[in-house]
Amino acid sequence: MTETPQSVIIIDDHPLFRKGLIQLLRTVPGFRLVAEAADGKEGIAHILRLRPDLLLLDLNMKDMSGLEVLRFVKQADLDTRVVMVTVSDAAEDLVAALRAGADGYLLKDMEPEEMVEALKSAAAGRIVVSDALTHLMAAALRQEKRPESASAAGLTEREQRILERIAGGLSNKQIARELDIAEGTVKVHVKHLLRKLNFRSRVEAAVWAVEHMRTER
């Protein structure tokens, strides 16, 4: 966690869960709730006005789905990290959210202590996925045609070093610091390696790297 409190917005159309999540956040130093919303449209208005560090977003809402809100946030080019918090453990929902740019996907039935640790990790720039779902992600990727190795994908040595750190949960800023290069340079390399691996999200690339790159060494 950073010393500066992370500003948080919660969008969820279930009042009881929303209130429970708010109470949980208040027990954790380092988070500052700045707004809550019961639907996507109200939530987007808060996001544009407050530009939070972290958005906790329900997937299935009546007026506007969580995926629609997620896509809006990502297209608006905000620095807001978006973590889906949902009851859905369906592989297609998980993959759709991550490919749309979600920075995490957590199940609502997580233990409070696990939820807190996951949110701390998200605030630190890491991608978070409920442990119960990582095998679904891996299985979904296996069904699609992908390169079998980093060399087969044509990744450069620099791209492989960056991919290893993505798999380790590091953010672009953390990778840049560790490799002593500009964050913008990291972003360019990430874009290139995702294209070479035919992935749309860094989470997919991280799962692929864990399964394929360790066997190469």
- 194: which residues sit within 8 A by CB, 6+ positions away? 200, 201, 202, 205
DSSP letter at 5?
P
Closest by CA position to 22, among listed 53, 56, 68: 56
Structure tokens at 132: 């119960």
CA dist., res. 85 & res. 129, Å (int): 10
Q: What is the pTM of this model?
A: 0.72
**Is 7 within 8 Å of 54 (Cβ atoms)?**
yes
Residue 112 confidence (pLDDT): 92
Residue 142 confidence (pLDDT): 62
Residue type at position 14: H
CA dist., res. 22 & res. 8, Å (int): 10
Residue 1 confidence (pLDDT): 45
- 129: which residues sit within 8 A by CB, 6+ positions away? 94, 98, 104, 105, 106, 137, 203
Residue 4 confidence (pLDDT): 81
Residue 91 confidence (pLDDT): 83
Q: Spell out the per-residue pLDDT of the chain, length 217, in tens.
A: 446 889 999 999 999 999 999 999 998 889 999 999 999 999 999 999 999 999 999 999 988 999 999 999 988 878 899 999 999 998 889 888 988 889 899 999 999 999 999 998 888 878 888 887 877 776 666 666 677 788 888 899 999 999 999 888 888 889 999 999 999 999 999 999 998 888 878 878 887 887 777 545 4
H-state helical runs in the chain:
15-26, 40-50, 66-75, 91-99, 112-123, 134-142, 150-153, 157-167, 172-179, 183-197, 202-216
The dihedrals phi and psi of 83, each to the nearest 5 degrees, come to -115, 120
Residue 39 confidence (pLDDT): 95
Structure tokens at 130: 């409920």
CA dist., res. 142 & res. 98, Å (int): 16
